[in-house]
Structure 1
């Protein structure tokens, strides 16, 4: 109850704030997840690309820490990637899966006990895709997903070939991009992609290790591309200094913490690889 009340207070005070840069439009996005018989409404941040012609669009899916930084502002990462996508010719939509459910973060919760499940996050992603497809100026044939960590795992879950909910979906993603997702569970389930996927990994990641994702890519075949950056840890595409998070109970060595932090070389290389993949996907849709 304390955690829930704190989350509600956080949401009330913090959600309208954004980091410096072009302010996005604050929108409500219906999830395919339901509460009391109605669609759960997600807070969204809409970064439309200026222009008259229909443009493709991408859903940005946050990690276990949520889409906000300290002080309650939409994170610099979300702003930076949305602006990069706009420059590349894409609309961008950030959705918050946590505060509508009374949560602030999942990182300190054990896997298997987390208050927001992968099923819920997948339904959020599906709802966001459906919202995008209905927007004026959006090319509904070219919709993608971009996620980090738990959000990257959501990308994989939303691309899972043969899943009944995904097969029945009105709107399906054309591709996905996942930064350092958790791949052990998909690997065990012999996951196969329903659309092209790019995974960007850190070889030294001791939170969501690279090896299961590399094995998943080998198992899945040509539809999955993978890049692994030598010596890079979880969160390598950020700018925060490397640190040990002892409050995270999961990871390669449960109970011993995990390393998180930026790597300038990996950040630059992954941005270039991301842009190249986006251009491939934009060309494939024409």
Structure 2
């Protein structure tokens, strides 16, 4: 009887050891799969434009992070296309593996130039953003088609170097920049907006990386900063892989429609 109990205990202990090994192996395999999945997914670098700042991407980032993407909302100095692109380029150089660059508004020219010569940039996503050809500027593009009311909403301030710093007047910010964003949030955005230099908006681009890197575009039909006709022209010219037009959406697309923006970024990230 004593031997039977002893044998049963040995048998139970053996089963427990086997189950423990199976569980440990399963946990290890799962961790390896998750780690491999994270490594194969591109890093998403998001670049804000004029009159915005990095937190404008918060809701887009939240969705991308939930889906396992590493995200970086790069600080855009808004001083000059070449200088701003150099700042974003330094972020790209610090990253290993593929990168998807996302640019809003004036952030479009910045990512276009920052991606030049970067073999790890697999896609460009323009969120209500300019996609300039060589020699074009944000100002020259926005004037190609009617529809922008931005000039009437601007507040220019003199810079020590003789140039101009441009803000959107706070009382006009909601209607001009973020008409489909709740007023309370739009008022916060107006207070925290970052100015752009007039020279940066007028500076010609030196590279058109969308000619060699797949591009994607999303914009709103009610954009008052950049005429929708301009954004259609740029997306068509770039032969964008996919273009999404959101009916009634404002210039602040990443705030008012973060789900659609994040979904397009993920589509670009998953493309072969």
Q: TM-score, normalised by structure 2?
A: 0.53
- Provide closer, same or farther for how the CA distance between residues 196 and 274 of structure 1 changes in structure 2, counting only shifts above 3 A: farther
Q: 1:91 aligns with which of 64, 70, 73?
A: 70
Gaps in structure 2 of 5+ consecutive residues: 1-33, 145-204
> What's the counterpart of residue 67 of structure 1?
53
> What's the counterpart of residue 52 of structure 1?
35
Gaps in structure 1 of 5+ consecutive residues: 1-50, 69-74, 99-105, 107-115, 134-139, 160-165, 239-261
Q: Tell me if the contact between 2:105 and 2:127 (Cα under 8 Å) persists in the aligned partners.
A: yes
Higher-Rg structure is 2
Q: Tell me if the contact between 1:88 and 1:275 (Cα under 8 Å) persists in the aligned partners.
A: no
> What's the counterpart of residue 182 of structure 1?
130
> What is the rounded CA distance, in whole Å, between the counterparts of 2:81 and 2:225 in structure 1?
17
> What's the counterpart of residue 229 of structure 2?
211
- Provide closer, same or farther for how the CA distance between residues 87 and 278 of structure 1 changes in structure 2, counting only shifts above 3 A: same
- Provide closer, same or farther for how the CA distance between residues 280 and 175 of structure 1 changes in structure 2, counting only shifts above 3 A: closer
> What's the counterpart of residue 19 of structure 1?
none
- Provide closer, same or farther for how the CA distance between residues 219 and 130 of structure 1 changes in structure 2, counting only shifts above 3 A: same
Q: Tell me if the contact between 1:198 and 1:225 (Cα under 8 Å) persists in the aligned partners.
A: yes
Q: TM-score, normalised by structure 1?
A: 0.50
Q: Tell me if the contact between 1:66 and 1:97 (Cα under 8 Å) persists in the aligned partners.
A: no
Q: Write 1 or 2 for the structure with the bigger share of strand.
A: 1
Q: 2:260 aligns with which of 272, 277, 285?
A: 272
> What is the rounded CA distance, in whole Å, between the counterparts of 2:59 and 2:109 in structure 1?
21
Question: RMSD between aligned alpha carbons?
Answer: 3.0
